């Protein structure tokens, strides 16, 4: 019985990674420091099929082929969450990292082409109602040296509300 249940969880996790990896190439963003437009990549909102880990250390990985070395090292990756039971309601997109629903939520790029979402919840997080998304904004050579993407600093982009980032880069919400 345990083997069958593990196979079901494994199949669900693989399905989630495949679906999460269906990234869209966004429209051209604002002109960068060198006058070139950057193509912005973004994922659809997705829900994890299953969480791995244990109490205080939960995570799930998603396939993200657009997160290349050039984007991760020279651009900026922004991640967001809609969390079930969030104080601000399920219509609020939180930039990650964030503290919500009694836990810390974050993300990391553990290898190029993949993104991992994490939380330190004591109980296993719900798979229904929690949604995640990332936006990858490539940098230019001058941008990576100056710490800016276009006419915005990397920190300014990270602090910008989700809806403003979507509007700035013409990303459908």
DSSP state, residue 46: B
Helix extents (H) in 21-169:
69-74, 141-146, 154-159, 162-168
* CB atoms closer than 10 angstroms to residue 94: 18
pLDDT in tens, 83-124: 988 876 555 888 999 999 899 999 999 999 999 999 999 999
* CB atoms closer than 10 angstroms to residue 63: 18
Q: pLDDT > 90: what percent of the chain?
A: 45
Burial 12-40 (b: 16+ CB within 10 A, else e): ebeebbeebbebeebeebeebbeeeebeb
Q: How confident is the model at residue 158 (pLDDT cuts 50, 70, 90)?
A: confident
pLDDT in tens, 47-92: 999 999 999 999 999 999 999 999 999 889 999 999 988 876 555 8
How far apart, in whole angstroms, are the C-alpha atoms of residue 102 and residue 111? 28
Whether the Cβ atoms of residue 131 and residue 81 lie closer than 8 Å to each other: yes
């Amino acid at each position: 019985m345990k083997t069958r249940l593990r196979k079901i969880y494994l199949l669900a996790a693989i399905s989630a990674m495949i679906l999460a990896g269906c990234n869209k190439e966004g429209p051209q963003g604002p002109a960068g420091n060198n006058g070139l437009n950057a193509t912005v990549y973004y994922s659809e909102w997705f829900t994890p099929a299953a969480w791995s880990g244990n109490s205080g250390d939960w995570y799930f990985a998603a396939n993200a082929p657009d997160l290349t070395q050039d984007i991760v090292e020279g651009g900026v990756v922004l991640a967001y969450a809609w969390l079930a039971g969030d104080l601000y309601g399920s219509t609020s997109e939180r930039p990650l990292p964030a503290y919500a629903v009694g836990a810390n939520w974050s993300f990391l790029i553990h290898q190029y082409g993949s993104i991992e979402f994490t939380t330190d919840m004591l109980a296993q997080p719900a798979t229904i109602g929690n949604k995640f998304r990332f936006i990858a904004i490539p940098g230019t050579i001058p941008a990576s040296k100056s710490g800016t993407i276009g006419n915005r600093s990397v920190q300014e982009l990270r602090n910008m509300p989700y809806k403003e980032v979507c509007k700035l880069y013409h990303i459908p919400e």
